[in-house]
Structure 1
Amino acid sequence: MMKIFEIEKLIADFYEGKTSVEQEKELKLFFETQDVPPHLMAEKRVFLEMFFDDNEIEIPPHLEQKLSNQIDSWAEKENRTKLHQSRRIKSWYFISGIAASVCLILGIALYRPDKQEKTVLTDTYTNPQDAYRETQKALLLVSNNLNKGMNQMEHAEKDVKKVNAIINKQLYQ
């Protein structure tokens, strides 16, 4: 015969889903055969009537067919919705394609190279020595800026190597 505190612990375990089938049978046997204390009468009703009712539930006739029909109708409705959405998306693609074509045609029609002014390239220096000096100045400016950029890249590369070394050290320790 189980003691009341053991039954109370089993009931708590049952509600937490921690009981085995054997323990649940013990609870059923306790509530069927023992004098149940007043504070456990509500539990007796729950265990004997709700959880361990041996009477089979009567299933209405054609319930399976009705459920199957309902599921089929839901699936059909979902398929119609997906079909409608795919048609809507295709129509938007079609409309946007037409709009893009119209924009392209308008752009081509409005841009007409024969209406634009033709620019004629001419020499800016009449003296070749002046042109040579100006070209040297421009190339020197480009060279200086490129060297500055390369120096910054070297410093950045050193910093990246330091960070990689720290990361590798931390990862492989």
Structure 2
Amino acid sequence: MKKPEIKTLLEKYYKGETNLEEEGILIEYFSGKNIDSEFISDKEFFTFLIKERENQSSIEDLSEPIWKNIEEYENHNKYKSLKNKTLYRITLAIAASLIIAMVSVSIFKHELFTKKNQIQFTDTYNNPELAYIEAKKALLFVSEKLNKGTNHIENLNSFEKGTKDLKLIENFDKGLNELKPVKSIEVVNKYIKNK
């Protein structure tokens, strides 16, 4: 190979503009014996690169065991955190129900003992039909207010539709997990090519 071509390729290489084919030409040139004295320092560099590539190809690929350990660690942590969350929620629910029960009992006792003889039920209407009409009005009013309050809940249906779309992403994740064996095939092919 001619000196100007090597010089041009070296300039491109040091700028990071070479492709694999051009790098292969440089490695081939510097692994030979007829090297111009101007390129001696470059020869040392490329000799180092060649040795490092050989060392790298002899190093065992640890990516699969590392991924396996990461997955085991994540699964262990998920189980542990899920167990802790469940225990925490149960404890909170029991504590809250005990507090509500104690407050209710104390209020009931207070009302019972302080107003023992004061409880008297009296009719507010003398006419039962008028009382029925007023009760009906009050119940309709309450029903109307409750219906207005539940109208806002209809927006949750659109939220639920969005979460259904997210289940498609779950299927995509399953597909990616099925591609993991392809990674091990690539590692085997790498070993076969090196031998």
Which structure would you say has the larger Rg?
A: 1
TM-score bracket for this pair, using the shorter chain length: 0.3 to 0.5
**Going by fraction, where is helix more abundant, 1 or 2?**
2
TM-score by length of 2: 0.43
Q: TM-score, normalization: structure 1?
A: 0.48
